[in-house]
Structure 1
Amino acid sequence: MRDIALFVLIFSLLPFVFTRPFLGVLMFIWVSLMNPHRLTYGAAYDFPFAALIVVITLISLLASKQPKKFPVTPAVVVLLIFIGWMNLTTFSALEPVRAWTEWNRVMKTMFLLMVVLVSVNTKKEIQALAWTIGLSIGFWGLKGGIFTLTSGGGSNVYGPDGSYIADNNALALALVTALPIIWYTQLTVKYRIIRYGLMALSIICLVSAVGSYSRGALLGGGCMLIFLWLKSRQKIRTGLILLLIVPLIYTVMPDKWFDRMNTIDDYKQDASAQGRINAWGFAVNVAENNLMGGGYDCFTHKMFAVYAPNPYDQHAAHSIYFQVLGEHGFVGLGLFLLFIWMAWRSGTKIIKHCKGRDDLKWASDLAAMCQVSIIGYAIGGAFLTLAYYDLFYDVVGLLILLEKVLLSNKLEPREPEAASLELNPAASQSQLNTPDRA
């Protein structure tokens, strides 16, 4: 039944994509982030919905007469250079077969980000994209949060099988990254009941992240919440809501959760932590001996035997930074860090542009929440292998699109007189009815 429902939903929407390529963008983001097909058990489970949507979206975009302006911002330039460098490192990969397999997946993510950057051109489209990003991950936060509350936090929360976030730690990082975007959505609605519902979703997503038992998510989530409060326009209300989360966690989570979180301080006795340190040492050694790193997916038993401090303790990178370092060398890591910094600067630039503009509060709020997402990803990702996770690039894409729309002629600052007339229609009417005394 689920398979039929998903086929009917997607295939009934595809005809509209031919006339509105942006609808295809939203559908692809939804399928790639939420993975609704992983909730089915039949033909839909492995059906290539994403590929089908992308093909139709590209056809629609090429045939459409809408503007196709590609934004050339500092963040985009650095990303393009980083993509070019990753292509070069793949040719010299230490594990060629594995590298080209991962290259295929990463380049699809980057290509589709470029499609998004070309397709989105208005305020409504940016907001719709933000809602789709937030709620696609929010679904798994709701599902995992309910499971955590009903089970008393006794079991780990996992994401959809066969996805970037199948692992409990990966799902936790996704929730930490998406939560600020979900928080933004409640700032855009007028109806109180919907706003409260989105606030509740934000809280339950945090509960789900806690229920994952991810120590990296605990650190990333804690820093993310601090910045969420700092970036919030309503600090008292936001602070009170965040304070309520602490007793909720203490009430729900069992002793074994606290025991696991306490092992953060005991990394020398923690076998998992020691394995990560060994993987990080491996990444450094690979980068020092290979200018272009080891190429995608080089963290293998074979390579550990050559480069790892302990050749018998093979692990994944467990860090977006050491993952990029090991796979693309010091140059690749430098470009990756520069990209994150440029994305942050884009947010700062947008916030400054919107300062004092009531009509652009929506953009300022979204830019601020995207920065909070970057904080959550940058800190939580220090302990997880998710350097190419499309959610992060989608969030940065929102910042790039804000620059594209706000700094173009579409939303130029209005004349002070025109702005005052619009904000005070009664006054504007009286002025229009007043004869010119000259």
Structure 2
Amino acid sequence: MRDVLIALVICGLMLQIPKRPAVGVMTFAWLSLMNPHRLTYGFAFSFPWVAAVGGLTLVSLFMRPGQFKLPRNALVITLILFMAWMTITTPFAFEQERAWGEWNRVMKTLFFALVTMGAINNTKDTRLFALVVILSLGFYGFKGGLFTIMSGGSSRVMGPTGTYIADNNDLALALLTIVPLVWYLYLQEKRRWLRWGWALLALLTIAAVLGSYSRGALLGFGAMLVMLWLKSRKKMVTGTLVLLVVPLVVMFMPEQWFGRMNSIGEYKEDGSAMGRVNAWRFAINIASDNFMGGGFLTFTPRMFRIYAPDPNDVHAPHSLYFQVLGEHGIVGLILFLVFLFLAWRTGSRVMRFCKNNPELKWASDLAAMCQVSLLGYCAGGAFLTLAYADLLYDVVIILVLLEKVLISKDALPIRQPAPAAQSAPAALESRPA
């Protein structure tokens, strides 16, 4: 029954794509982030829904070329250069078969990020896209938060099987990133009952992050909460809720959770932590010896025997920065960091543009919360291998779309309040002879 329901929903959305390509990119984001088909047990589980939706969207855009307007700015150019550089490094990768498989996956993600930037051209669809991103992962925040509370935090929250958020650490970073965007919905909501519903979802998502037992996510969580308070318009309400988190953690989380978190300060005695340090030094060594890095998925036992200080302690990079450095060298890391910097700057530009316009308060709030999300992702991602996950680029897409529909030369004119009607004599006097 669940398979049929998911299939009907997706097919219903696909019927709308030929008329509105924007529906296609939103459906693509929903399937990529939430993976609803992975919650089924029959034919829908393995059906290539993402490929079907992506292909139909591209056909729709080909038939309607006037609806595709890719912004021409430094951020988009940097993303394209990053993609080009990864394509250049892949033929020189040390693990060729593995590298090309990963190149194929990453290029699909980044290519469709560009497609999304070009297919959405108005504020309504920009807000809808943001809502799709929020709810796609908010579902797991709600579900995981309830699970954490009902289990007393004794079991780890995990993501759906066969997805990029299946691991508890990866799910934690995704949920951590989505909390500020849920708070954006709270800031914008006028109906009291729904406003507090968004606040509840934010708290449940935080509970799910804590219930994941991810130490990397906890470090990012602390940095994100401070920035969330600084960026929020309702600092009193936000500060109160932030302060409530600490006693709630003390009250509900079990002793084993505190034991896990306290091990952060004992990294020298923690085999997992020292394994990460070994992987980071491996990334530095391989990038120092090879201008193009080791290529995609180069963190293998064979390569560790050559470049790692401890060749027997093989680990994934556990850091999006060292991941990019090890796989694509210093040039790849520079392009990646410039991309993140330009994304942050785009958010600041949108906020300045909206500052004195009450009608655009929603856009200012959304840009600010996207910046908080980026900070949380970059802080938590310093200890997780998620440099090419869809969510990071979806947050950046929101910022690009805000700039596109509000500021760029292709943006639609913003409605201004109608001027007071002139008197008939004044109107006549103002006419040219």
How far residue 181 of structure 1 moved from its aligned partner, in angstroms, is 1.4
Q: Percent identity?
A: 53
1:92 aligns with 2:73: no
Q: How does 1:245-256 map to 2 (within 5 A)?
A: 245-256=245-256
2:289 maps to what in 1? 289
Residue 60 of structure 1 aligns to which amino acid in structure 2?
S
Q: Contact (CA 8 Å) 1:73, 1:400: kept in 2 or not?
A: no
When residues 190 and 434 of structure 1 are mapped into structure 2, their CA distance, relative to the original with a 3 A threshold, is farther
Q: What SS class does the counterpart of residue 379 from structure 2 fall into?
A: helix
2:28 maps to what in 1? 28
2:351 maps to what in 1? 351
Q: Contact (CA 8 Å) 1:294, 1:327: kept in 2 or not?
A: yes
How far residue 412 of structure 1 moved from its aligned partner, in angstroms, is 4.6
Residue 33 of structure 2 aligns to which amino acid in structure 1?
L
Q: What SS class does the counterpart of residue 82 from structure 2 fall into?
A: helix
Q: What SS class does the counterpart of residue 121 from structure 1 fall into?
A: coil
Q: Contact (CA 8 Å) 2:158, 2:168: kept in 1 or not?
A: yes
1:257 aligns with 2:267: no
2:318 maps to what in 1? 318
Q: What SS class does the counterpart of residue 250 from structure 1 fall into?
A: helix
When residues 341 and 408 of structure 1 are mapped into structure 2, their CA distance, relative to the original with a 3 A threshold, is closer
2:417 maps to what in 1? 419
Q: How many residues align?
A: 427
Q: Contact (CA 8 Å) 2:122, 2:412: kept in 1 or not?
A: no
After superposition, the C-alpha distances for 1:103-125 in whole angstroms (9 at most, x for unaligned) are 01000001110110111100111
After superposition, the C-alpha distances for 1:313-353 in whole angstroms (9 at most, x for unaligned) are 00000000000010001111111111111111111111111
After superposition, the C-alpha distances for 1:159-194 in whole angstroms (9 at most, x for unaligned) are 111111110000000011111112112233322211
- Per the normalisation by structure 1, the TM-score is 0.95
After superposition, the C-alpha distances for 1:265-303 in whole angstroms (9 at most, x for unaligned) are 111001110000000011011001100000000000111
How far residue 436 of structure 1 moved from its aligned partner, in angstroms, is 3.9
1:146 maps to what in 2? 146
1:407 maps to what in 2? 407
Q: Contact (CA 8 Å) 2:406, 2:414: kept in 1 or not?
A: no
How far residue 402 of structure 1 moved from its aligned partner, in angstroms, is 1.2
Q: What SS class does the counterpart of residue 44 from structure 1 fall into?
A: helix
Q: Which of 347-356 and 96-105 deviates more?
A: 347-356
Residue 291 of structure 2 aligns to which amino acid in structure 1?
L
Q: What SS class does the counterpart of residue 19 from structure 1 fall into?
A: coil
1:425 maps to what in 2? none
Q: What SS class does the counterpart of residue 43 from structure 2 fall into?
A: coil
Residue 160 of structure 1 aligns to which amino acid in structure 2?
P
2:334 maps to what in 1? 334
Q: What SS class does the counterpart of residue 46 from structure 2 fall into?
A: coil
CA distance in 1, matches of 2:139, 2:155: 19
1:397 aligns with 2:397: yes
CA distance in 2, matches of 1:229, 1:9: 38
How far residue 26 of structure 1 moved from its aligned partner, in angstroms, is 1.1
Residue 35 of structure 1 aligns to which amino acid in structure 2?
N
How far residue 434 of structure 1 moved from its aligned partner, in angstroms, is 8.1
Q: Contact (CA 8 Å) 2:291, 2:330: kept in 1 or not?
A: yes
How far residue 435 of structure 1 moved from its aligned partner, in angstroms, is 6.2
Q: How does 1:21-420 map to 2 (within 5 A)?
A: 21-64=21-64, 66-409=66-409, 410-412=411-413, 419=417
- Per the normalisation by structure 2, the TM-score is 0.96
Q: Contact (CA 8 Å) 2:61, 2:67: kept in 1 or not?
A: no
Q: Contact (CA 8 Å) 2:305, 2:311: kept in 1 or not?
A: yes
Unaligned 5+ segments in structure 1 are 422-427
1:424 maps to what in 2? none
Q: Contact (CA 8 Å) 2:141, 2:175: kept in 1 or not?
A: yes
Q: What SS class does the counterpart of residue 264 from structure 1 fall into?
A: helix
CA distance in 2, matches of 1:105, 1:268: 35
Q: What SS class does the counterpart of residue 69 from structure 1 fall into?
A: coil
CA distance in 2, matches of 1:124, 1:189: 16
CA distance in 2, matches of 1:434, 1:260: 77
CA distance in 2, matches of 1:277, 1:180: 30
CA distance in 1, matches of 2:56, 2:414: 37
CA distance in 2, matches of 1:52, 1:65: 20
CA distance in 2, matches of 1:251, 1:433: 68
